[in-house]
Structure 1
């Protein structure tokens, strides 16, 4: 029996889909097959950003708990909905866009935008591809993008061999390798579980690939180390019986403090520590075969984003809901592991003010001061918490959106392109709209004008930067206008093209 991912995966048409073959809830989203409706004439006349009319449908981010006592940083999202623009999005603490890039065709969606380090320099990484699959599984076919501070693509990370990289996670290691997952559908006899003898299994495969060369340096397969009897996901039934059984559903991979691998498997309700060299499972916490005694407050289910924190404790996003509902709210969970006594001890939980329940997706990350940042996955919310769990910032995308994860990190962007400029004549003057997608150092904007592009000495006005786009007003109607982006000291960071004023 010959099976390839292309035989069993396809992009999901339409809006948001949650679910999986075998009942597994995951992330599944894609563009519909119907063309987008034409722009509303009123909306076209009044674009959201006059300097960037191409961002007409960029979703708004609403802040519900204003920032107070937060750590410095920008917020990283990958908004996804049944309509509108798709791509990685960075916003500030007020919800204003900092940078957005539309996902490049033929990909349908971008996932998991975050700041990382590659070859000693800060970079942005995200996944592009198609998510979906038979039965609505949250399984991806795509590749990871690495971009520098100027937002120039410097590498693409692809799976070695014939497979494509899954979207759930990618970590750049100190070795300048990339760790990520591949969902590999393989022929498998499922009769012992009541399924078909000629069934199909989705094997969770970790690949470690050298970013520069694409060479595979390590591979690990779940089926060789984790039994199907550990799964909480039911087998596909009836007409779906020959769809891949997603028994494991890997959704995070990372490094422990000792350099070994740590992973999360949603469908076994367990997290695993794996020997980096041999692939042996050193321990598992949670699930049916936990090596640790887990108390009621620490017990988790359908989880995401397993990480080790700086003090040696462990954190994850406990969905508490998926195929079944085990808890009436999701949470960021912190616990300790005593590897000698083999006990897991509850430390803290981080809960949204609205006690949200996220059946799919989600993230939970430690911040520099010991606080935490939570992305609420299927619920399009994010929140920042003090170390004691109290909320110091919260916001959300529109209700018809979701963001697989949400992060906060310091980021400095210096775009390679020019600032953008929009002009309109109004009440005998010119309204100037200026923006610079991705620039983080702009403190003020200056508009200059004149009779020729090379002779803009007719005058100048300045305004403090006010969000993604800043408005300035020029008296009269000059022939040409240009905008300068200024830093806090007044130095010019970038200048737009000179644009003619059309009355």
Structure 2
């Protein structure tokens, strides 16, 4: 954990996640004036490649999102993604039901990615959280070394949460508890005798470690280690062999941690095909579901493998994203799975499954969450799709990132953002008129845009208005005035923010 004032990255957050590109003193927001006239080069920026948004040319590599099933009576909220591809523009991305960006922040170079972007509550206030770091540095597939970011509704960084001791936090989950602590995983490589399972006596084991950290103080308040409670013989993962024999054996591969209704912990371990309920005080395993040593009898339709994201639902049932594929392929399709647990009878009973219309199989990643209205939302992990389901299981929204992308998880949640920087403004002259391009990264209340123009920055009498049309809205001003500003308006016409006055250079 660190104070936001001295974070090496918080300065980027305050200006929408990229360096400032200004013209005529644009201040803390973007202001781009160009005079291409459909033929010339931009006057105020000289970046390679076509701009996706004239007001934010830094977002030229932002991936397009395709909505294949348009929203139909969906739950309120925005969609949270962390696109990752070879394009190198990685970061938390928030979009609306039409696939239009609402907020994006590029993670800082070098060699960092963002994962598990979502809305939570900290100190009874809504916040955004995500993980930043590097993946795979210790030889384990899908193992992260990094830290978690917490940002407020203005997108200012509040703090960073780091693992206690010398370890670094893994990316797989981050849960803020009601008492101001954070739960997450650490993958700890330790010397270990693997001869009992056919490995070298001087081998290395990746131990799955839950840490619970007091967010305010950074102090560790609870720790749990998988090797103390789950045997290596429960794993379905093969040992590293040959030249890799002394790389860490990732026998457990924890990928989610959360709270049950009684306050005990819920855990998913991909490589044992099992989910666990863990006593939060003693660390004892209360029960395990699935895998080689299930404590409860699991009916055939509830059996899962290589799974992610084990959670309790409001009606007392449990859910998991059943990949059904990983190192091996056990099922033709991945699915969202809901089952009931009868602790007294020691059995698990199938309730419902949620499949994708295209019969997707996701070998890695993914999540399955309940929505506030009783619907469900699935992020398909390695397959770059996300799907919203009605309570009856019908698809009411479906979309995807470009097919060469992926997003570890996808969420839907309500969010109200009010950035502190200025709206962004881009200008270009077309056919003797000025085309104004306006955007405001992260603002969720903009309903309309107004452009004002005139001969002096404080004498802007010419106006044009238009309804907001996605991330960037264009307006046309006749003629070629000297200066232009853009004003963001809410649904009642109140001005939420104003860009700097930008000169029109012809």
340, 345, 359: which is aligned to 1:341?
345
CA distance in 1, matches of 2:246, 2:358: 40
CA distance in 1, matches of 2:132, 2:388: 27
Aligned to 2:81: 77
CA distance in 1, matches of 2:421, 2:226: 44
Q: Is the CA contact (8 Å cut-off) linking 1:58 and 1:84 kept in structure 2?
A: no
Aligned to 2:498: 495
1:1-43 Cα offsets, whole Å, 9 max, x none, are xxxxxxxxxxxxxxxxxxxxxxxxxxxxxxxxxxxxxxxx999
Structure 2 counterparts to residues 159-174 of structure 1, below 5 A:
159-174=163-178
Aligned to 2:302: 298
Q: Is the CA contact (8 Å cut-off) linking 2:50 and 2:60 kept in structure 1?
A: no
CA distance in 1, matches of 2:214, 2:382: 32
Aligned to 1:485: 488
> Would you say 1:471 and 2:474 are equivalent positions?
yes
SS at match of 1:267: helix
Runs of 4+ in 1 over 2 A off after TM superposition: 41-46, 133-136
Q: Is the CA contact (8 Å cut-off) linking 1:130 and 1:142 kept in structure 2?
A: yes
Structure 2: segments with no counterpart, 5+ residues: 1-44
Give the RMSD, CA atoms, in angstroms: 1.3
CA distance in 1, matches of 2:171, 2:211: 13
Structure 2 counterparts to residues 95-494 of structure 1, below 5 A:
95-106=99-110, 108-133=112-137, 135=139, 137-457=141-461, 459-494=462-497
SS at match of 2:459: coil
Structure 1: segments with no counterpart, 5+ residues: 1-40
CA distance in 2, matches of 1:83, 1:45: 13
Q: Is the CA contact (8 Å cut-off) linking 1:208 and 1:219 kept in structure 2?
A: yes
66, 71, 77: which is aligned to 2:70?
66
Q: TM-score, normalised by structure 2?
A: 0.90
CA distance in 2, matches of 1:447, 1:369: 39
> How far off is 1:105 after superposition?
3.0
CA distance in 2, matches of 1:252, 1:300: 15
Aligned residues: 462
> How far off is 1:84 after superposition?
3.4
> How far off is 1:56 after superposition?
0.4
Q: Is the CA contact (8 Å cut-off) linking 1:107 and 1:142 kept in structure 2?
A: no
Q: Is the CA contact (8 Å cut-off) linking 1:107 and 1:128 kept in structure 2?
A: no
1:107-158 Cα offsets, whole Å, 9 max, x none, are 5100000000000000000000001235561000000000000000001000
Q: Is the CA contact (8 Å cut-off) linking 1:351 and 1:389 kept in structure 2?
A: no
Q: Is the CA contact (8 Å cut-off) linking 1:200 and 1:243 kept in structure 2?
A: yes
Q: Once structures 1 and 2 are overlaid, which stretch shifts more, 365-374 or 45-54?
A: 45-54
CA distance in 2, matches of 1:121, 1:42: 41
CA distance in 1, matches of 2:50, 2:456: 28
Q: Is the CA contact (8 Å cut-off) linking 2:49 and 2:60 kept in structure 1?
A: no
Q: Is the CA contact (8 Å cut-off) linking 2:464 and 2:477 kept in structure 1?
A: yes
1:202-244 Cα offsets, whole Å, 9 max, x none, are 0000000011110000000000000101100011111111010
CA distance in 2, matches of 1:295, 1:91: 38
CA distance in 1, matches of 2:343, 2:140: 38
Q: Which has the higher contact order (CA 8 A, sep 6+)?
A: 2
